[in-house]
Amino acid sequence: MRRSIRRGRFGGQGGFTLFEIIMVLLLLGVISYVAATRLFSDDAPTQVAEMELVKNHLRYAQARAMNSESSWGIKFGSSTRYWLFNATNENTVVRLPDVETADGAMQLNGIQVTPPSGSKITFDSFGSPGTATIVLTTTAGNITVTKTTGFIP
């Protein structure tokens, strides 16, 4: 009877081994590191998402041009700021969809864009940027607008 009291009710197991505790702490540390780097970093997925947003705004300007009798485009004020404009009045900023800044211009936070010469891309009523292929260089990759067709991959 004395022997059964010492062993306890769990049949001789008094708890976790040191190895098990270290492995659990190590696993928690790895999971915490991965979660923290994804939450607090401005990494490639964020940059790619902003580059896709720039592409979508170019496609939006292209669609506006094809659905009207005038040219539309995107004008770059700096490497992180651009807005939609109508070619009949280039100085008037037209609000882009889902842009909530006071002046309607898009402010990029994750990437920088090197605009083409002239700092604007204009689409005609056929959706074409003209006779030259336009390449926007960004910190996440290049955006190409194909001449004549206006294709944006």
Task: Classify residue 137 by burial, with Cβ atoms within 10 Å: 0-12, 13-18, 19+.
Answer: middle
Count of residues in the chain = 153
Tokens of 91: 């100085």
* Predicted model pTM: 0.68
Q: Yes or no: say if 50 and 107 are a contact pair by the CB < 8 Å rule.
A: no
**Is the per-residue pLDDT at 122 higher than 50?**
yes
pLDDT, residue 8, reads 53
Q: Give the number of other Cβ atoms within 10 Å of residue 138's Cβ.
A: 20
pLDDT, residue 26, reads 95
Mean pLDDT rounded to a whole number for the chain: 82
**Is the per-residue pLDDT at 25 higher than 90?**
yes
Confidence class for position 107, pLDDT limits 50, 70, 90: confident
pLDDT, residue 1, reads 46
Q: At the top level of CATH, which class does the domain 44-145 belong to?
A: alpha beta
For the stretch 30-89, pLDDT in tens is 999 988 877 776 667 778 888 888 899 999 999 999 998 889 999 888 888 888 888 887
